Amino acid sequence: MTGAPQISSLSQHWPPKPKWPLSDIPDLSDRVIVVTGGNSGIGYETVAELMRHKAKVYLATRSKSRADAAIEQLRKLPDINGSVEFVELDLGDFRSIEAFAKNFAAREKRIDVLFNNAGVACTKPTTTAQGYEAHMGINAIGTHYLTTLLLPLLKAGGVAHPDFPTRVVFTSSYMHILAPPKGFDAEDPLAEKVSPPFGFNRMLQLYGLSKFCNILSARYFQRSYGSDNIIFTSVHPGAVRTNLANDANAVVSFIKDYVVSYVMISAKQGAYTQLYAGFSPGGLIGGAYFVPYGREAATVEQGNDIKAQDAFAKWADEEVAKHPA
Ligand SMILES: NC(=O)c1ccc[n+]([C@@H]2O[C@H](COP(=O)([O-])OP(=O)(O)OC[C@H]3O[C@@H](n4cnc5c(N)ncnc54)[C@H](OP(=O)(O)O)[C@@H]3O)[C@@H](O)[C@H]2O)c1
């Protein structure tokens, strides 16, 4: 948000110790929480922490077998008191997102916290079911569409507990700084005019743009639905050792496994900042962007631009509308 402090890359990636202990997360026995991509990495550790605090967690991801394996492991962890269930969701397919929203509404009357955590990075060039480049299709449009369809349940959460606004946390990234200089450009939404058509730089730019769109989404929803007792935020979780970018090309895999991994934080540490955005008490500013461990920080300048926030939301809605069920 305008006025949020600039926090250096160095401090974001070697952060000071957290001030707010996760043990301060309240008892979540009556809370309904959705974690997209909860079967792996940061999402998995987020689910584990929620279960320690007795939440009813829905693990929303695309592969039943990977979800089942994660759930089996989660249930074996010590101090686990909450519940976890799988609901199928492929953010790369509008039909799957719609089916998820429908199935979920048949099970639950509200959502108290939504962690928009799932994402892909540096994937080999692939497209979603409706033909969008994977980073933009899954991370940006899919996540925005899911949030749109879940709004009635999120609003119901806000009504159910007036003293604890519903929270929606978008897992963005420091890498949003790699979006093209114009950020999101409605005239060139997939950055085709500014990027090389393929290759490493193009992949990084699209990942950066998709993560920048998460920030725009959070701020758009905050302005549009914040008055429904919902707080929308975005976070950079840190540089975290996970399965992200595991299917990238050999160069990325080498850098990840043999160069960067030694300075990365664990997935458990990576879960901290989104848990902070989900549960830290009082005073959380809607639309804020947090970096490890739970510090509000400035994004690139265009992140504050209301026109850019609206332009991304309009574009995402229009793209979805081009592919009716
Ligand atoms: N690791 C980092 O350093 C870092 C830094 C900044 C931001 N982030 C962000 O953190 C988030 C979590 O990533 P991670 O590092 O924990 O990586 P991860 O271990 O690869 O987890 C990513 C999760 O997203 C799920 N996912 C991917 N595509 C999906 C789709 N089409 N539909 C539904 N779920 C899908 C994956 O499910 P599958 O098992 O089916 O693939 C997996 O559960 C991502 O949004 C990422 O951009 C990570």
Q: What is the CATH number of the domain that holds 153?
A: 3.40.50.720
Task: For residues 173-189, give the mean pLDDT.
Answer: 94
Confidence band for 258, pLDDT divided at 50, 70 and 90: low
Is there a domain that residue 124 lies in? yes
**Catalytic pick from 211, 217, 225, 289?**
211
Q: Which atom of ligand 1 is nearest to the CA of 239?
A: 3
Ligand 1 atom closest to residue 139's alpha carbon, by position in its atom list = 45
135, 141, 178, 242: which to mutate for ligand 1, most atoms within 8 A of CB? 242
Q: Would you state the structure tokens that stand for residue 202, as one six-digit string?
A: 């193009």
Choose among 136, 177, 149, 193: nearest CA to 12: 177
| 175 occurs within a structural domain | yes
How far away, in angstroms, is 163 Cα from ligand 1 center? 31
Predicted confidence band of residue 64 (pLDDT cuts 50, 70, 90): very high
Is residue 261 predicted with pLDDT exceeding 80? no
246 within domain boundaries: yes
- The pLDDT score that the predictor gives to residue 198 is 67
From ligand 1's centre to the CA of 231, what distance in Å? 22
Q: Ligand 1 centre and the CA of 89: distance in Å?
A: 13
Residue 288 lies in a domain: yes
Residue 195 reports pLDDT greater than 70: no
Residues counted in the chain:
325
Q: What lines the ligand 1 site, CB under 6 Å?
A: 36-37, 39-43, 61-63, 66, 89-92, 117-121, 138, 171, 173, 236-237, 239-240, 242-244
Residue 1 domain-assigned (yes or no): no
pLDDT of 35 strictly over 70: yes
Whole-angstrom CA distances from 21 to 1, 112, 273, 294 are 25, 21, 11, 11
Nearest atom within ligand 1 for CA of residue 37: 43
Residue 2 confidence class, pLDDT cut points 50, 70, 90:
confident
- Helix ranges (H only) for the chain are 9-13, 41-52, 64-76, 94-107, 134, 143-160, 200-225, 250-254, 267-279, 306-321
Predicted confidence band at 122 (pLDDT cuts at 50, 70, 90)? confident
Number of structural domains (the chain) is 1
Distance (angstroms) between ligand 1 centre and the Cα of 159 equals 30
DSSP for residue 153: H
**Residue 197: which pLDDT band, with cuts at 50, 70 and 90?**
low
Mean pLDDT check: name the lowest of 50-54, 216-220, 259-263: 259-263
172 a catalytic residue: yes
Atom of ligand 1 nearest to the CA of 171: 45
Split at pLDDT 50, 70, 90, the class of 123 is: confident
What is the model's pLDDT at position 66? 96
Examine residue 166 and state whether it is found in any structural domain, yes or no. yes
| Residue 19 belongs to some domain of the structure | yes
**Residue 319's pLDDT band (cuts 50, 70, 90):** very high
Q: Which is catalytic among the residues 40, 96, 172, 210?
A: 172
Say how far apart CA 30 and CA 283 lie, in whole Å: 22
Range of the domain at 256: 9-321
Using the mean position of ligand 1's atoms as its centre, give its distance from the Cα of residue 104 in Å.
Answer: 21
DSSP β-bridge partners for residue 13:
none
| Position 63 in a domain | yes
pLDDT of residue 196: 66
pTM score, whole prediction: 0.96
